[in-house]
Structure 1
Amino acid sequence: MIEDLKVRERAYELWEKDGRPEGSEELYWRLAQEQLEAEATPQAASEWPATGEASRFDH
């Protein structure tokens, strides 16, 4: 399981990269969790694009 502090930091980083959209806390939390879990699995780590990742989720 990924530590909440790491998820929080990643979520904030992603949120800032996407222009700080309001009302999207849960979206970025989920996205950060998925990224960190994928990074912990070597084969999945290369599947993540570098920016604009929130666009793959419905708002």
Structure 2
Amino acid sequence: MIDDSKVRERAYELWEKDGRPAGSEALYWRLAQEQLEAEASRQATNGEWPAKGEASRVDD
């Protein structure tokens, strides 16, 4: 689960970039959550063995 403070920061950044539209808090909160979860998922996937380039170093 993503920390609420990180979601809040990301949502605020997205909201500001879009010109601070009124009444869109839930939209930006959801967008921020989705982005952060996708980033966390990519990081977890990229951390699996064999690490990039490691398979070529294994002697058979």
Do they fold alike, i.e. is TM over 0.5? yes
Q: Determine the structure 2 residue equivalent to 1:41.
A: 41
Q: Which residue identity does 1:40 align to in structure 2?
A: A
Deviating 4+ runs (over 6 angstroms): none
Give aligned-pair identity as a percent: 86
What runs of 5+ residues in structure 2 fail to find an aligned partner?
Answer: 44-60
What RMSD in Å do the two structures reach over aligned CA positions? 1.2
Q: Determine the structure 2 residue equivalent to 1:29.
A: 29
So what's the TM-score if we normalise by structure 1? 0.70
- In structure 1, how many angstroms separate the alpha carbons of the residues matched to 2:42 and 2:13? 22
Shift of 1:21: 0.3
Q: Determine the structure 1 residue equivalent to 2:8.
A: 8
Shift of 1:27: 0.3
What runs of 5+ residues in structure 1 fail to find an aligned partner?
Answer: 44-59
So what's the TM-score if we normalise by structure 2? 0.69
Q: Which residue identity does 2:40 align to in structure 1?
A: A
